[in-house]
A and B are shown apart, each in its own frame.
Chain A
């Protein structure tokens, strides 16, 4: 028998309180010195979206410079090879360190995590603010290094090139070092908050799956980022004092740098994707109006992905002169990653099966995620297979693969989350039709851009090259056109989201019929989140109709 599902129309809202977190105190100073996790989340959101804009402009320029093999526009060469190197480095560094790593945890999770736990704030509010300011300092240093000189090393800073090239690489390295601390502070905060500030009655398996994902992310942030810190410190010492640990001319080892770097940067990939998965685990049950299928399996898969992330870094170095034994072991371990990822994928699909699916904008993003992440994840298995990887290493196939995971996965999920929590954060609804339209543009543009790159890569087009053979020209043209469609999609999104801010506050407390605690408080929430301490009585994602009193 089918359950009769409650309609999406919100149950009678509490009267909207006059004071909420946005207007409880006023003036710029009250924002600069705030320790309210919601305000810090909003400031982070503005910050990471600005970084996304800058990184996106660099991406469009990179694509534009590859449009013609002669790099001409209206008959004139407009870009040199050196400028091209700087552009893709800045695109990578800005997107990775300034946008995608802090994107979900520091902005959305900062806002939502304490609300979902029924807490008044994160465990260490001042540390939270410190994390934000470190991010700002890191961002300023990174931008300064772009203006004052340039960085052309790629975002990976491989030695010996990074220790010998001109430009302000040292400043960029220090910027990333500072950003690392910002990330560590966020991680420490979330782990402590999840352990100690859960609402009365909320056990570990009553946590929304978003929290499980963010918790697993925070563990990686705490355990992996210090290794990046020490690696960058060694790199800076190498550049300034030439201490020789990575310099083969004086007895050092450049491959050691790669090991150190990927020991952080592979787990960092999971700092990026786990929060994306965490958001999808909220969107799918909410918009399918169905209990999460395999709750515990999804929770454990987040943690096991976090653990696996630490033992697969060698797959970035299959052709960098590792021993054959190491290569085989890393390849085998890499295949293991497919298991928890598959567990998540099938549980999401299981949740949707026979659900009452409604295609509001956040769900459109969630479905886009499922399709794009499936492609991104499966091509990861191609690259983990040694014989295939030797052919595909450093081609556009790799570029397409990680864009399907990072952009098709994390970025799509991030914007799904932005749309999902936008009414809670701002108190306003955006235009649904424009929202679905922008999502469709981004989805189509993305596939036009990057499916092409899979083909190009398998034909041998190497990544990071400025010049290319004529046979690749048609693919580059298609890919560049795709990038314009993506750009148009994001421009549309910016327009209707900003437009929604001009309206009076019209969002109901629970516009989507969500079951987690953040939907039980007003939109936007009051300064201390809840009028009274909430107590959990039902598991999350329980969409069974209330028993009718007889």
Chain B
């Protein structure tokens, strides 16, 4: 025999695998700490997939910037830098309120958890609102992918017939793909945050169990972090 067995039945009450101590305890984990650590590994792995999802787009952007350097510099002047900066500040604040929500959950402070989560959702909504104004400006000015891009006064790279280079439109193809995908993540974040706000309001979280707040906090920080890379890439770097 290569194995022996430990009888768990004695230490865990009448049900063998029942864990009457905490309703959130799933039967295949030995204890709550193991369950929490495992969930956290799962979340970090998921975040790794998110980084690679955006990573492909970052690489594509880099390649096209290399191909159309002048067009990309001129195209980035068409973006509204103050609005981008405003959104950066809004997301940084939301990261702070998210940290505070997790901290309050750890302290079993239900009122504060709800308050900070609502503030985080508010920031997320402001971000999307600002993004709406930015997008509609792009559509009005036809700052769009190559097929629909209209030449702007400052665009200097043209062929002999005066047609503007496709590089400008390519810049905006990536702009819409990357900020769009990021926007979808913000939207998903709002849904997740609302879900845990309701649960927090019901008093489900305490220092004994706050895994969802912690994990969605991690997700939210990643979404913020991606914007922290997107903002200089599109609005600042020449």
Interface residues of A (CB under 8 A from B): 118-121, 123-125, 127, 184, 187-189, 191-192, 195-197, 200, 222-227, 229-231, 233-234, 237, 241-245, 247, 250-253, 256, 260, 263, 515, 517, 520, 528, 530-538, 542
Cβ-based interface call for B77 (8 A) = no
> What chain A residues lie within 8 Å of B60 (beta carbons)?
234, 245, 256, 260
Most chain B CB within 10 A, of A227, A535, A536, is at A227
A227 and B42 in contact (CB under 8 A), knowing A120-B27, A245-B60, A250-B146?
no
Nearest-neighbour CB distance to chain A for B229, whole angstroms, equals 15
Output the least CB separation between A193 and chain B (Å): 8
Contact assessment for A528 and B38 in the assembled complex, using a CB-CB cutoff below 8 Å:
no
* B46 within 8 Å of A (CB atoms): yes
Residues of A within 8 A of B135 (CB): none
Known: A188-B46, A192-B41, A226-B49. A244 touches B173 (CB 8 A): yes
A200-B6 CB under 8 A given contacts A245-B60, A251-B146: yes
Give Cα distance in the complex from A269 to B64, angstroms: 28
Verify B6–A515 contact, CB threshold 8 A.
Answer: no
Output the least CB separation between B163 and chain A (Å): 11
Are A196 and B34 in contact (CB-based, < 8 A)? yes
Question: Are B45 and A191 in contact (CB-based, < 8 A)?
Answer: yes
Q: Are B56 and A230 in contact (CB under 8 A)?
A: yes
With CB as the reference atom, state the residue of chain B lying closest to A520. B3
B68: chain A residues within 8 A (beta carbon): 251
Q: Is the CB of A223 within 8 A of B41?
A: no
> Taking A226-B49, A230-B57 as contacts, is the C-beta distance between A538 and B145 under 8 angstroms?
no
For residue A118, which residues in chain B have a CB less than 8 angstroms away from its CB?
3
Please state if A536 and B56 are interface contacts (CB–CB under 8 Å): no
Chain B, 164-214, CB within 8 A of any chain A CB: 165-167, 169-170, 173-174, 176-177, 181
Please, how many residues of chain B have a CB less than 8 angstroms from a CB on the other chain? 49
- Residues of chain B in range 45-64 having any CB-CB distance to chain A below 8 Å: 45-46, 48-50, 52-57, 60, 63-64
**Other-chain contact of B38, A192, A223, A263, A534 (Cβ < 8 Å):** A192
Whether A226 and B52, one on each chain, are in contact in the complex, defined by CB atoms closer than 8 angstroms, is yes
CB distance from A70 to the nearest CB of B (A): 44
Contact across chains for B147 and A120 when beta carbons are under 8 A apart:
no
**A119-B28, A120-B28, A528-B27 in contact; A245/B56 too (CB < 8 A)?**
no
Known: A200-B6, A251-B167, A538-B2. A123 touches B49 (CB 8 A): no
Q: Can you offer 21 A-B residue contacts whose CB atoms are under 8 A?
A: A118-B3, A123-B41, A123-B42, A192-B41, A196-B34, A196-B38, A197-B29, A222-B48, A223-B48, A226-B56, A230-B57, A243-B146, A243-B147, A245-B174, A252-B146, A252-B166, A253-B64, A256-B63, A515-B2, A534-B5, A535-B4
Docked complex Cα distance between A197 and B17 (Å): 15
Q: Once the chains are docked, how many angstroms separate the CA of A530 from the CA of B3?
A: 12
**Residues of B close to A184: CB separation below 8 A:** 49
User: B134 on the interface (CB 8 Å rule)?
Assistant: no
Known: A191-B41, A234-B177. Is A532-B53 also a contact (CB below 8 A)?
A: no
Kindly report which residue of chain A lies nearest to residue B45, judged by CB atoms: A188
Alpha-carbon gap, A125 to B26, bound state (A):
10
Q: Chain A nearest CB: distance from B225 CB in Å?
A: 16
Closest 10 CB pairs of A and B: A251-B166, A120-B28, A532-B5, A250-B146, A226-B53, A121-B28, A226-B52, A244-B146, A230-B56, A538-B2
B146 touches A123 (CB 8 A): no
Does the CB pair B49–A225 fall under 8 Å?
Answer: yes
Chain B positions 141 through 175: 1 when the CB is less than 8 Å from some CB of chain A, otherwise 0: 00001110000000000000000011101100110
Judged by a CB distance under 8 angstroms, whether B140 is at the interface is no
A243 x B2 contact (CB < 8 A)? no
Q: How far is the CA of A244 from the CA of B64 in the complex (A)?
A: 12
